[in-house]
């Protein structure tokens, strides 16, 4: 047997007097007054108790919303705004984690009281960040590396800092102080397309770099093909400053190591370079490196005519080497010309129209060979380059001769036309004979 719940005596549906109260929708007036009084009591108590100097956090609307920044943000709103957008705010890192002090109080004496570090000195910042970021136990959950500090100390920036030069990059210069975002966030300073600007904040500032004898590498980089690949073609795999210089252990590549750096992507060029006469092992520190001909930062797209001009930079007095360079250049150039002639002829055939899909495919293959010939030129040997240029040239020749053949067939049409006219005139003659015979018969 189910027990039905009895409605309480206070709310009795449909009993006694009519109206909202009697129907049970609205509680009786007395009860309402009691409830309101009970609710208001804490508020009154809060008002009574809200005296300055009381450290207990009050439930009111004037406190900052972010638990991470505590109450520091009341006096430091700019920093609070930055911090609230950062990754640290989500991970419950507080202002006090780096700056010390007490973030529950609005009184300066207490807030900036015991343990307050204030703005850390530049030379202390790396160690400060490392206090968490070098701890594997802390970083493991995020799968973040913990070697940044160690690498930093080997870097150009780190070594100078150790020597007392504070006008070098420290963690906050690249990652920001309060607005630290992960590298995958497009607003982050360490987001790949933003990296040149981040490094360029110092290395593109001629006032800063001039006295140190450094050029404006940011401007140089922005004019390079790497920057065009990064910005114009949105290719996030394009190299930025950190690709060649390292991230935390940033330092310029040493002499002899440049080809290893460029060879990270340009594996083919490096392979040929190591197999050729410019090999670092044979030439030691006096040999050419990638940057000798291609510049370090203003790297341009592959320019085949460099084959003609670069050799003279070092071998100006050596006619045999210069001749070799020129031969490689003419070899490449003639093959490229053949392929381009074939391409032009294909376009002409297209307008006839002839079936040109196969020719265009073969021209693309030939162009691939030509593109492969350019890395091969780093071996500075004719035969190596000729392996590709002859293939490209032969494809160009084949395509040209085939198209000429087809165009020749078309010219044959005009001769067939003459034969056709003989046939036509003969037909007219025969018809005329038939007509006249029929007329004579009539």
How many separate helices (H) and strands (E) can be counted in the chain? 26, 0
DSSP result, 326-337: HHHHHHHHHHHH
Query: Is 348 an interacting residue with respect to other proteins (CB under 8 A)?
Result: no
Both tokens assigned to 289: 């490196």
| Residue of the chain from 339, 375, 391, 400 that contacts other proteins (CB under 8 A) | 375
Q: Cβ–Cβ contacts within 10 Å for residue 153, how many?
A: 17
The residue (of 95 and 335) whose beta carbon lies closer to other proteins is: 335
Q: Pick from 185, 229, 340, 382: which binds other proteins (CB under 8 A)? A: 229
With CB under 8 A as the contact rule, which of the stretches 15-23, 70-78, 186-194, 408-416 interacts with other proteins? 408-416
Is 243 a binding residue for other proteins by CB under 8 A? The answer is: no
- The single residue listed with the structure tokens 């079936």 is 355
Q: Which two tokens stand for residue 7?
A: 């409605």
4 vs 234, beta carbon nearer other proteins:
234
Q: Does 427 bind other proteins (CB under 8 A)?
A: yes
Phi then psi for 251, rounded to 5 degrees? -160, 150
Query: Around Cβ 194, how many Cβ atoms within 10 Å?
Result: 18
Site string for other proteins, 146-175 (x = CB under 8 A): ------------------------------
| Cβ within 8 Å of residue 136, ≥6 positions away | 146
Minimum CB separation from other proteins for residue 243, in Å?
11
Query: Nearer Cβ to other proteins, position 92 or 357?
Result: 357
Give the one residue of 135, 283, 355, 401 binding other proteins; rule: CB under 8 A.
Answer: 355
CB of 211 to other proteins, least distance (A): 37
- Locate 384 and state its tokens: 């190596």
Burial group, residue 314, by CB count within 10 angstroms (0-12, 13-18, 19+):
middle
Q: Which of 313, 314, 306 is nearest to 332 (CA)?
A: 306
Q: Is the CB of 118 or the CB of 353 nearer to other proteins?
A: 353
Residues that bind other proteins (CB under 8 A): 229, 233-238, 265-268, 351-355, 357-358, 360-362, 364-365, 368, 371-372, 375, 413-414, 416-417, 420-421, 424, 426-428, 430-435, 437-439, 441-442
């Amino acid at each position: 047997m189910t027990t039905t719940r009895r409605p309480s005596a206070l709310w009795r549906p449909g009993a006694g007097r009519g109206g909202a109260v009697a129907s049970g929708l609205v509680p009786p007036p007395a009860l309402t007054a009691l409830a309101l009084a009970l609710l208001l009591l804490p508020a009154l108590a809060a008002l009574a108790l809200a005296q300055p100097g009381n450290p207990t956090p009050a439930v009111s609307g004037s406190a900052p919303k972010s638990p991470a920044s505590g109450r520091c943000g009341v006096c430091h709103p700019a920093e609070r705004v930055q911090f609230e957008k950062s990754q640290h705010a989500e991970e419950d890192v507080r202002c006090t984690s780096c700056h010390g002090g007490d973030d529950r109080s609005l009184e300066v004496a207490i807030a900036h009281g015991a343990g307050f570090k204030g703005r850390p000195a530049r030379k202390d910042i790396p160690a400060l960040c490392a206090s968490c970021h070098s701890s594997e136990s802390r970083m493991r959950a995020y799968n973040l590396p913990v070697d940044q500090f160690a690498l930093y100390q080997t870097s150009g920036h780190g070594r100078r800092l150790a020597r007392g030069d504070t006008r070098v990059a420290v963690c906050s210069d690249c990652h920001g102080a309060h607005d630290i975002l992960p590298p995958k966030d497009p607003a982050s300073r360490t987001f790949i397309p933003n990296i040149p600007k981040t490094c360029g904040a110092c290395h593109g500032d001629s006032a800063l770099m001039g006295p140190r004898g450094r050029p404006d590498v940011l401007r140089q980089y922005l004019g390079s093909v790497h920057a065009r690949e990064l910005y114009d073609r949105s290719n996030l795999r394009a190299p930025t400053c950190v690709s060649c210089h390292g991230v935390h252990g940033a330092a310029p590549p040493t002499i002899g190591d440049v080809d290893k750096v460029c060879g990270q992507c340009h594996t083919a060029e490096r392979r040929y370079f190591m197999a050729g006469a410019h090999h670092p092992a044979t030439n030691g520190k006096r040999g050419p490196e990638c940057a000798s001909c291609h510049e370090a930062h203003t790297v341009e797209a592959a320019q085949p005519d460099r084959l003609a001009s670069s050799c003279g930079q070092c071998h100006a007095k050596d006619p045999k080497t210069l001749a070799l360079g020129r031969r490689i250049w003419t070899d490449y150039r003639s093959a490229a010309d053949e392929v381009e002639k074939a391409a032009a002829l294909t376009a002409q055939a297209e307008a006839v129209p002839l079936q040109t899909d196969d020719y265009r495919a073969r021209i693309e293959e030939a162009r691939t060979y030509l593109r492969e010939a350019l890395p091969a030129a780093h071996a500075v040997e004719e035969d190596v380059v000729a392996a590709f240029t002859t293939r490209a040239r032969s494809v160009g020749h084949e395509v040209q001769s085939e198209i000429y053949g087809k165009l020749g067939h078309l010219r044959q049409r005009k001769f067939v036309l003459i034969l056709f006219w003989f046939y036509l005139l003969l037909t007219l003659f025969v018809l005329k004979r038939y007509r006249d015979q029929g007329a004579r018969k009539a």
